[in-house]
Amino acid sequence: MIALSLSEIAAAVDGELRLHGADTAETVVSGAVDTDSRAMAPGGVFVAKPGETTDGHLFVGAAVEKGAVLALVERVVDEPVTQIVVPDVVAAIAALAREVVGRVRARGDLRIVGITGSNGKTTTKNMLATVLRPEGETVAPVGSYNNAVGAPLTMLRVTEDTRYLVCEFGADDKGQIARLAGLVTPDVGVVLMVGMAHAGGFGGIEATVRAKSELVSAVRDGGTAVLNADDPRVAGMSSIAEERGLGIRWFGEAETADVRASDLKVTADGTHATITVDGRSFPLHLRVLGAHHVKNALAAITAAVAMGVAPEAAVERIGTVELAERWRMQVMGGDRVRIINDAYNASPDSMAAALRTLAQITGPDERMVAVLGAMSELGEYAHEEHAKIGLLAVRLRIPRIVVVGQEARSLYLAAVAEGSWNDEAVFFEDADAAYEYLRGELRDGDRVLVKSSNSAGLRLLGDRLGESFS
């Protein structure tokens, strides 16, 4: 965080300053801000966030032992540290993030890009950060820091020297993207796609469209909207951009896209494509597994070019990215049995894309194995969408379908009904049972996809399989 006095921080969060020891209102704090006491470093600010299972106020002492010099709290705690008391610490870090980013922006040439979409946010964020870092100091989220807590914590990492801030915006409810993006009013807003992910929570696909379009509405005056030309729901957001007088940059495979991909060829070592940027063509070897990640690469390139990066540099740097993120199409195991662990997030769109990738990279003498778990947050659409994935797996002629967990049982039943008989599709109640089965079932030449939402826990099953067959 940039250097601020205790009185400035208290004013920014509208809190009551409770000084400790030799601290005064003019004492300056410039350490990192975090909600995890274990991550505290000397000079840091600890946010005592109440949680579902525990309460951050219980860990203020641990944070102080790690070097915290200030605690944001909702009630005074009996610990030897200066505290700022606020009604809501989550709202307080948002307010502090707004203040910090506003000050840095006013002092220099800070450029801000926001990214949202039903799938691909984290991959695109990492790709874009890779492109931007050689241009200047770049701050981007760690992992999937895209919610009401993670996004402000990312914003608070900017310094006076930061040139680019990359923000990833998820949404747990209507209006959240508007609130988070409104803290920083991005120069560039990227909307990747609108799919069924979280549709259950929003009340349907049209409500999801409205939620994602909040980012376009939050882009600062004179900014740029980067939109997916291949997704009609995203393309429709251009009307918002036009009404606001924003610039529009299109990405996709459509001929009309400003940045487009053609001649895609998927192999076991990545995807080869030709990238065309405003009429100029460049070869790309994308090492991140899966043709669907080409769309994320296009979005990152489009955003980078909109911020002044040379197209050839953007394409070249995208080609150096080897892993989107842990548990996202992460290749594990060895040459005999290859494990593709993609079990951090799952939606109908990403599940289908991962299954198609498995089919594309498996050779004629190799066997496809799909280990599939539940897709969360689908609400009333859960049964139908899981069943569709079961049908797709059979139609892709995947000879071994391993379904894990009751929430995914409709996927298994659909696969069986479609014709996956003779134990081609099997069902297990939990990951341990599936692991014991797979240890005995997998053989040389198998290419194994492990795919589910984070809540299903199959990412750890993927790790176990990767270790067993490495």
Answer yes or no: CATH 3.40.1390.10 is held by domain 4-89: yes
Per-residue pLDDT reduced to its tens digit, 322-346:
876 777 789 998 889 999 999 988 8
Question: φ and ψ at 56, to 5 degrees?
Answer: -60, -25
pTM (2 d.p.): 0.86
Q: Which residues contact 461 (CB under 8 A, 6 or more apart)?
A: 343, 371, 404, 431, 434, 435, 450
In the prediction, which pLDDT does 420 show? 66
Alpha helices in 52-198 (DSSP H): 60-66, 89-107, 121-132, 150-155, 176-182
Task: Give 454's pLDDT tier (boundaries 50, 70, 90).
Answer: confident
What's the DSSP call for residue 449? Answer: E
- Identify which has the larger pLDDT, 454 or 406: 406
**Nearest CA among 226, 232, 292, 229 for reference residue 257:** 229
What CA–CA distances, in Å, run from 358 to 216, 265, 342, 448?
Answer: 34, 14, 11, 8
**Nearest CA among 373, 341, 346 for reference residue 450:** 341
Per-residue pLDDT reduced to its tens digit, 357-381:
999 999 999 999 999 999 988 888 8
In the prediction, which pLDDT does 185 show? 97
Per-residue pLDDT reduced to its tens digit, 180-220:
999 999 999 999 999 765 555 556 788 889 999 999 999 99
- Identify which has the larger pLDDT, 243 or 290: 243
The CATH class of the 330-468 domain is alpha beta
Q: Which of 64-78, 131-145, 391-405 has the lowest mean pLDDT?
A: 131-145
Could you give the CA distance from residue 95 to residue 12 in angstroms, rounded to a whole number?
6
**Nearest CA among 133, 129, 163, 162 for reference residue 145:** 129
Could you give the CA distance from residue 413 to residue 300 in angstroms, rounded to a whole number?
39
In the prediction, which pLDDT does 377 show? 82
What residue spans define the domains of the chain? 4-89, 108-318, 330-468
Task: Give 162's pLDDT tier (boundaries 50, 70, 90).
Answer: very high
For 55, how many CA atoms within 13 A lie in the half-sphere containing its CB?
6
Q: Which two tokens stand for residue 252?
A: 């996709």
Q: Please, are residues 273 and 288 in contact by the beta-carbon 8 Å criterion? A: no
Question: Using CB atoms within 10 A of its CB, is residue 321 exposed (0-12), middle (13-18) or buried (19+)?
Answer: buried
Fold match between domain 4-89 and domain 330-468: no
Q: Which residues contact 159 (CB under 8 A, 6 or more apart)?
A: 2, 104, 137
Per-residue pLDDT reduced to its tens digit, 56-110:
999 999 999 999 999 999 999 999 999 999 999 999 999 999 999 999 999 889 9
Task: Give 433's pLDDT tier (boundaries 50, 70, 90).
Answer: very high
- Mean pLDDT across 159-164: 96
CATH code of domain 108-318: 3.40.1190.10
| pLDDT, the chain, mean | 93
